[in-house]
């Protein structure tokens, strides 16, 4: 329990002054909203993005990931960088860390080692802070709060500074900022009092550091919110060398995620809603540059609704290991015969492949496909 010192009266700073404080400087933290594929409008929480050893991680409350079968993340800003948690590791005390895949890894916050653990002086110098969160469209949300308790070791308690404001359940995982410095992560909010419980950054990162050093932890079970069954998030075994590394559209549900396109076997298919064409997919995976000569599109289970199959498609390649230097190699209108369509082009060296789908066979806002296969020279 945090020793209570009583609730101070809320600050009566003018709203305009508070707004200026919230927007004054860029924050020393990058975040993402955690969403549910099965309930598209549901924002289940927030995540703090950071990278280490060439991998992108989300740090977030463990209970947030139990509310979605496949944790889906949308990074802050207007680019719409998306990601998924391939596994979730419980760190204890409702903290968790999840390695991420997807385009979100292209801009994955700050290095874990560069994030300050010294939050004490920021807390001593200010009783006011900001809960920083990401909205469902990638825009930022900020809520002014007063810090009402600090046990000096692990936990803080906060309450909204402005009358009639409330901390929502979907704010779980928000960063508590003081002087633009992350000093904690919101874990929960009391339904009656509206008081939020925050884990201090130094305590949270101690758990993260322990995991990265190889401390024994176990993959966390993730509960399917629809069926109520416990499962563990896993990646699909890729079909061949190439696998999906990025996408710009959300699947219709957790059973139709983009990694299905390069999975072995015929279990399931990819299906997505498209708010704005083109729907884009990127493939990668080879350690060395490969010589590719085409792409094979297999309808698979998606053939049941042929109107959703891709129609107008452009293929681009890049041989770069760093910043993508895309080169258009072919564009075509796909014609499926016996459930298969192909685009073939002159052999080209590639380490990454980008497929842009500009139109489906008949659906105005959905696209679906069973499998993708990269055709290499010699195959």
Round the average pLDDT of the chain to a whole number and report it.
Answer: 86
**pTM of this prediction exceeds 0.95:** no
Q: What is the mean pLDDT of residues 298-321?
A: 93
* 8 A C-beta contact, residue 143 and residue 94: no
Kindly give, in sequence order, each residue whose CB lies less than 8 Å from that of residue 277, ignoring residues fewer than 6 positions away: 357, 358, 359
Structure tokens at 107: 């801009």
CB atoms within 10 A of CB 267: 11
pLDDT for the residue 153 = 87
Secondary structure class of 16 (helix, strand, coil): helix
pLDDT for the residue 217 = 54
* 8 A C-beta contact, residue 320 and residue 287: no
Q: Which residue has the higher pLDDT, 363 or 19?
A: 363
Residue-range domains of the chain with CATH: 1-235 (2.40.10.120), 243-376 (2.60.120.260)
Percent of the chain whose predicted confidence (pLDDT) is above 90: 64
Q: Residue 318: in which H helix or E strand, if any?
A: strand 310-318
pLDDT higher than 50, residue 314: yes
Kindly give, in sequence order, each residue whose CB lies less than 8 Å from that of residue 16, ignoring residues fewer than 6 positions away: none
pLDDT for the residue 143 = 96
pLDDT for the residue 215 = 54
Choose the weakest-confidence range: 243-252, 278-287, 335-344.
278-287
Residues pairing with 359 in the sheet: 312
38-248-104-353 Cα dihedral, nearest 10 degrees: 130
pLDDT higher than 90, residue 234: no
Q: Which residue has the higher pLDDT, 228 or 171?
A: 171
pLDDT for the residue 188 = 94
Q: Which residue has the higher pLDDT, 260 or 264?
A: 260
194-203 pLDDT tens trace: 899 999 999 9
Structure tokens at 216: 């024994």
pLDDT for the residue 118 = 85
Q: What is the mean pLDDT of residues 161-185?
A: 92
pLDDT for the residue 170 = 86
Q: What is the mean pLDDT of residues 115-129?
A: 84
Q: Where are the alpha helices (DSSP H) in 69-195?
A: 120-125
pLDDT tier at 239, thresholds 50, 70, 90: very low
Q: What is the mean pLDDT of residues 15-26?
A: 44
Q: What is the mean pLDDT of residues 155-166?
A: 92
281-305 pLDDT tens trace: 999 977 789 999 999 999 999 998 9
pLDDT higher than 50, residue 24: no
pLDDT tier at 5, thresholds 50, 70, 90: very low
């Amino acid at each position: 329990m945090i020793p209570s010192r009583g609730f101070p009266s809320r600050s009566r700073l003018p709203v305009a002054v508070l707004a200026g404080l919230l927007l004054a400087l860029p924050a020393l933290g990058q975040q993402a909203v955690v969403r549910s594929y099965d309930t598209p409008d549901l924002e289940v929480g927030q995540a703090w993005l950071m990278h280490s050893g060439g991998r992108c991680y989300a740090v977030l409350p463990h209970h947030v990931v139990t509310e979605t079968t496949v944790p889906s993340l949308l990074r802050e800003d207007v680019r719409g960088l998306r990601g998924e948690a391939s596994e979730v590791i419980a760190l204890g005390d409702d903290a968790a860390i999840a390695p991420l895949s997807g385009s979100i890894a292209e801009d994955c916050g700050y290095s874990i080692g560069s994030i300050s653990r010294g939050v004490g002086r920021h807390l001593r110098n200010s009783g006011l802070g900001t809960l920083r969160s990401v909205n469902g469209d990638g825009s930022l949300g900020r809520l002014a709060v007063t810090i009402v308790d600090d046990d000096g070791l692990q936990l803080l308690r906060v309450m909204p500074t402005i009358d009639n404001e409330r901390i929502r359940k979907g704010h779980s995982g928000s960063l508590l900022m003081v002087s633009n410095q992350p000093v904690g992560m919101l874990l929960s909010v009391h339904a009656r009092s509206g008081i939020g419980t925050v884990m201090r950054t130094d305590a949270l990162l101690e758990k993260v550091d322990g995991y990265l050093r190889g401390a024994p932890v176990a993959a966390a079970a993730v509960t399917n919110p629809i069926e109520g069954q416990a499962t563990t998030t896993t990646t699909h075994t890729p079909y061949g060398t190439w696998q999906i590394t990025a996408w710009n559209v959300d699947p219709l549900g957790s059973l139709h995620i983009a990694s299905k396109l390069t999975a072995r076997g015929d279990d399931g298919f990819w299906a997505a809603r498209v708010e704005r064409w083109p729907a884009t997919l990127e493939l990668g995976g080879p350690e060395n540059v490969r010589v590719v000569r085409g792409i094979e599109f297999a309808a698979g289970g998606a053939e049941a609704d042929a109107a959703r199959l891709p129609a107008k498609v452009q293929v681009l390649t890049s041989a770069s290991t760093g910043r993508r230097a895309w080169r258009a190699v072919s564009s075509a209108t796909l014609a499926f015969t016996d459930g298969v369509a192909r685009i073939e082009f002159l052999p080209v060296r590639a380490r990454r492949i980008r497929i842009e789908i500009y139109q489906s066979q008949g659906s105005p806002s959905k696209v679906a496909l069973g499998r993708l296969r990269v055709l290499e020279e010699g195959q």
